[in-house]
Amino acid sequence: MSELIVKNLHVSIEGKEILKGLDLTVKQGEVHAIMGPNGTGKSTLAYTLMGHPSYTVTEGEVWFKGRNVLELEADERSRLGMFLAFQYPVAIPGVTVANFLRTAINARRRVENPEDKGVPIPEFRRMLKEKMELLKMDSTFAGRYLNDGFSGGEKKRAEILQMATLKPEIAILDETDSGLDIDALRIVSDGVNALSGPELGVLVITHYQRLLNYIKPQFVHIMLGGRIVESGGPDLALHLEEQGYDWVREKYENGESTIQRVSE
């Protein structure tokens, strides 16, 4: 069983500590949501898990499938089965979606077998067509330059298309709902749900509860000040929807958990 285990993670960027002792375990087949106000370190967690070079881990451990993830480059983490859907996908001018995906698939195949000749073109085309239909994407999409001039919705769909193609065992979705209208949100969520199952662990990072109407988590965590301060079931997200984050702030930023906000 693939398990992502994060222990006492401390992360700094340019000398400033953002994550201050974060603990989290996500098992294959589980859907977790991390919610929290802006500036609390959610995206830092996402980037750090994927190995972005700007983030420095000063303390703590990250394990996946028994491997010490912090020793691995981003591409090694990806090939190990980790995936990050970016909040702000990066444009790669001059490289088409299809060319990029084929390169990514072939890179993975070559690591398993250095003699691999790459995925046969007809097989690749068939697979891509199938995944694009799943995400209700126009077939011309494959020929466009990756994320170059894409609308917000197209970018997020392209992220899920990559996820569908690369078949990770754990997927981290960083603010996947941002910039999506309700139709796009539904398409993207349907895509994620179609990929979910006993093989896939999902970590949804979101500011708003909205996305969780479509992607239903079994576990919800509240993040504040670089740590996870509350964990619970789906009802915790609903509670946040009704109450906002103020009660969390009051509870964890104003000393100990003595103040309990009374609902109106």
Partner 1 sequence: MEEKPRVVVASRTRRPEAAAKNFAFTAGDIPSGPLADYRRRAWETYARLSMPAVTEEAWRRTDLRGLPADTFRLPAAEAFRDLAPVPAGLLKPITASQHGGQVVLSPGGNSADSLTLDESLIRQGVVFADLQTAEREHPDLVTKLAGGVVRAEEGKFAALTAALAQNGVLLYVPKGVTVEQPLLSILWGPGANIAHLSHLLVWVDDGASVTYVHEAASPEEGGASMHAGLVEIKVGDGASLKFVELQSWGRGVWNFSHERVSVGRGGSLDWIFGAVGSRLTKNFSELELAGEGAAGRMSGFYFADGSQHLDHDTQQNHLAPHTTSDLLFKGALKGHSRSVWQGMIYVAPAAQKTDGYQANRNLVLSPDARADSIPGLEILADDVRCTHGATVGKLDAEPLFYLKSRGVPAPDAERLMVEGFFDPIMQRIPFEGVRARFQQAIHNKMEAA
CB of 50 to partner 1, least distance (A): 5
Task: Specify the residue, 33 or 50, whose C-beta has the smaller distance to partner 1.
Answer: 50
Task: Specify the residue, 110 or 216, whose C-beta has the smaller distance to partner 1.
Answer: 110
CA dihedral 154, 158, 161, 167 (to 10 degrees): -150
CB of 243 to partner 1, least distance (A): 35
Task: Specify the residue, 162 or 209, whose C-beta has the smaller distance to partner 1.
Answer: 162
CB of 180 to partner 1, least distance (A): 20
Task: Specify the residue, 51 or 217, whose C-beta has the smaller distance to partner 1.
Answer: 51
Residues 69, 79: contact at Cβ < 8 Å?
Answer: no
CA distances from 48 to 71, 197, 223, 236 (A): 12, 25, 15, 25
Residues forming the site for partner 1 (CB under 8 A):
50-53, 73-75, 77-79, 83-84, 86, 89-95, 99-100, 103-104, 107-108, 111, 145, 162, 166
Task: Extract the tokens encoding 148.
Answer: 């170059």
CB of 144 to partner 1, least distance (A): 12
Residues 205, 172: contact at Cβ < 8 Å?
Answer: yes
Q: Distance (Å, rounded) from C-alpha 95 to C-alpha 7?
A: 38
